[in-house]
Structures are given as structure tokens and as C-alpha cells.
Structure 1
Amino acid sequence: MSCRLQELRRKEVINACTGCKIGYVDDLQIDTKCAKVVALIVYGRPRLFGLFGKCDDYYIRWEKIRLIGEDAILVEDSVQKMPNKAKKRHKFVTNCHQINL
């Protein structure tokens, strides 16, 4: 079976042990030396329109994929979360001082 990236992006990634939805394939990691797909990457979804940051990204090694079906990709339970880069904390109010009237 062959599959294009565009077709992979439409497939839902599901944890086979728990049945939980992880997300959709957003990116691939490819080893250019041996021309193999190393991992699928699922980006974390934004929390409350991105105001509270986003969930962790998932890095799914190719060996952890159990099945690629027509609608979904089943993966093993031990999926790694990618560490988020340095998180910037956005402050709505900075340097507030009490003003006496």
C-alpha cells in the first residue's frame, strides 16, 4: 500500500491501547540518508483559541505505528510528547502601579 502525505494528513491518529484521539498528522520526519520516514508529528492543539498556549506535540516513531487504515492510524501506547520550546508567557497587564486620586 502506498500513501501520500496529503492522504496521511486527513487520517486521525488514535492510541490503540486507550482509544484516545491524539490528533491528525501535521508533519513527517524523514531520514534523507536512507530515504525513510522516521516519525509522524502531531502538533498540539491550541487551548482556548491559543490564549492559554497549546497542548504538547506528539512525536510518533514509525516503529510505534500498528496500523494505517482508510480513516485512522493506530499507534502503540508509548507515544512520546515532544518538549515544547521555551514558552513565552504573555501578560495582559504589565507594570501596574496603584494610582491615588
Structure 2
Amino acid sequence: MKDSIMTLSDIEEKDVINVVTGERIGFVSSLKIDTNSGQIIAITVQPSMRFVSFFSKDESAVVVPWNQILKIGEDVIIVNVAQRLNEY
């Protein structure tokens, strides 16, 4: 049986992909943790330079709520984001 515990460095190596658009959003750069409950409430995703268009106007990080993460797999994290969160 495979170990079900991951470290932040394990998660940082995975591509984050939006299942709605099929777009590669980037890589996890940090976690947001509720210090009262100790639960992860969101991940911050930094666009990877290899996926960012030269003409892109906004290259800031995207915050994805934990409840929008569908699956953390071997190589990717699948999220369900209906709209680009960093545009608001």
C-alpha cells in the first residue's frame, strides 16, 4: 500500500490542471492553513513561465480553495475552477 502522507515539496512538483478548461494553471507555491482547525483551506498556484504567454497581462498567483481540488495524483493536481480566480 502506498503512503498517503505528502509533504509540501511533494505537492510543489505537480502540475495543477483545471478540469473545466483543460488548462495547466501552474505549480503550487504555498498552502493557506486555518490555524484554529489546522486544516488546509486553499493552495496558491504560481503560473509556470513555460505556460505563460508572452502577451499575458496578469501573471499573478491563483488561489484555489481546497474544496475545489478534485484529485491529487502522481504527477498532477486536478482542480475544478469555473473562472480564473486571480482576475477578481
Bin for the TM-score computed over the shorter chain = 0.7 to 0.9
Rounded to whole Å, the distance in 2 between the matches of 1:19 and 1:53 is: 20
RMSD after superposition: 2.5
- Structure 1: tracts of 5 or more residues without a match: 84-101
User: Structure 1 residue 12 and structure 2 residue 15: aligned?
Assistant: yes
Among all aligned residue pairs of Structure 1 and Structure 2, give the percentage whose two residues are the same amino acid: 30
Give TM-score, length-normalised by structure 1. Answer: 0.68
Contact 2:47 2:60 in 1 (8 A): yes
TM-score (norm 2): 0.77
Q: Which runs of 5+ in 2 are unaligned?
A: none
Instruction: Flag the 1:53–1:60 CA change in 2: closer, same or farther, 3 A.
Output: same
Give yes or no for contact 1:64–1:75 (8 Å, CA) kept in 2. yes
Larger radius of gyration: 1
Aligned-pair CA distance for 1:18: 1.6
Q: Among 1, 5, 15, which residue is 1:2 paired with?
A: 5
How many residue pairs align between the two structures? Answer: 81
